[in-house]
Structure 1
């Protein structure tokens, strides 16, 4: 039986967490952190709450990526399995977020502190996912941002349709197949998150935590062989 690619599972969770965070945490993007500048500007101009988590999202995201890379390099020097350790850290953060959401959610009526803690926990988890994806899954499409992926799909489709036949078009076709899987998984995650927030808001964040556990059984190739 063929195992699910790790990149597809990460894409589903990336779409799920970003959508759930946006809907439940006053417009916070846990994965697409630069999008928080847009929602922060709208919050400051139009009024409303949730400005602090959006303001802190980028520095927290950057700090966690920096720490993740430093820890990863130290683990690599020590001969430890870097990818599995980073995946474990992300799984722990998502489990903590799931427990916290059950205890303090739904967040529409939660305190500002609860919203901040939940938001920064999710941002930290997605920062680790972004870091491990760039280092260990560099040949796979990004799992948290689909703009570049959809652009490349269109460019490759043009190459396939009117470009010269040969190795270039074959590589483009193979790339399109991988990227379509990533976009489809991300879109499915977004749809499932929206449905969960509406139907089971208190338990919505439990789903990505459970799914993330299956990352350890997913199919993956890493440059460091771990």
Structure 2
């Protein structure tokens, strides 16, 4: 159980951190909460100035990340091999691409230029892999990339507990959903500060966390 909580915290932190780095570095690009880009595209049409192309291409890049994760998991399942390690490694490599492409584009002045667009696509694809992995290999965890549903479940459980109507598993479910939410928020704060002082090198921290997840997967599966 402790390992499950630690994994949820690590992945939630990673999602909040990477999403914030992408948002700050690339004129409001969401990499984890990718559907949020639709709102930004709409606002761009009303008040131009922040770049539409990178937000448009983030969505298909995210989908490609999900597709790649699914096909890789199916191929490994056919060989009766676990997919957690491979999916974590794929996400790690995509985050590395995000960092290197972002560094090559530094300083980012026009987000619709080639290198910033490619960097944003790599970041979105990385988070697409994490979204898919949460369904494919870590389905027992609370979602770690989009927190709206988690917050809703937390509030429902808190209301039930306050009324004395919580089921036997309500408290354990509350903790399950609470830690990724807190980790996501903390990751978002740290991502903003780290980018302020380190630019795209800030992505080294979530990459290190994923390396830790990969080591844990190697030891445990």
Give your verdict on TM over 0.5: yes
Q: Distance in 1 between matches of 2:197 and 2:110?
A: 17
| Root mean square deviation of aligned Cα | 2.1
Instruction: Go from structure 1 to structure 2 and tell me whether the alpha carbon gap of 1:108 and 1:193 turns closer, same or farther (over 3 Å shift).
Output: farther
For residues 119-149 of structure 1, what are the alpha-carbon distances to aligned partners after superposition, in whole Å with 9 as ceiling and x for unaligned?
0000110000000111211121111111000
**Is the Cα–Cα contact under 8 Å of residues 85 and 217 in structure 2 kept in the other structure?**
no
Native 8 Å contact 1:150 1:183 kept in 2: yes
Residue 211 of structure 1: how far off its partner (Å): 2.1
1:208 and 2:206 aligned = yes
Cα drift, residue 48 of structure 1: 1.2
C-alpha deviation, 1:59, in angstroms: 2.0
For the pair 1:181 / 2:179, whether they are aligned, the reply is yes
**TM-score between both structures, scaled by the size of structure 2:** 0.90
1:219: how far off?
7.3
> Which residues of structure 1 form unaligned runs of 5+?
none
* C-alpha spacing 1:203/1:109, structure 2 compared with 1 (3 Å): farther
Deviations 1:69-99 (A, max 9, x none): 1221111111222111111111111122222
What SS class does the counterpart of residue 140 from structure 1 fall into? coil
Instruction: Name the structure 1 match of 2:79.
Output: 78
1:6 offset after TM fit, Å? 1.6
Which secondary structure state, in structure 2, belongs to the residue aligned with residue 93 of structure 1? helix
Q: CA deviation at 1:50?
A: 2.2
CA distance in 2: counterparts of 1:50 and 1:218, whole angstroms: 39
**In the alignment, what sits opposite 1:123?**
124
Aligned ranges 1:70-219 → 2 under 5 Å: 70-108=71-109, 112-164=113-165, 168=167, 170-218=168-216
Q: Which runs of 5+ in 2 are unaligned?
A: none
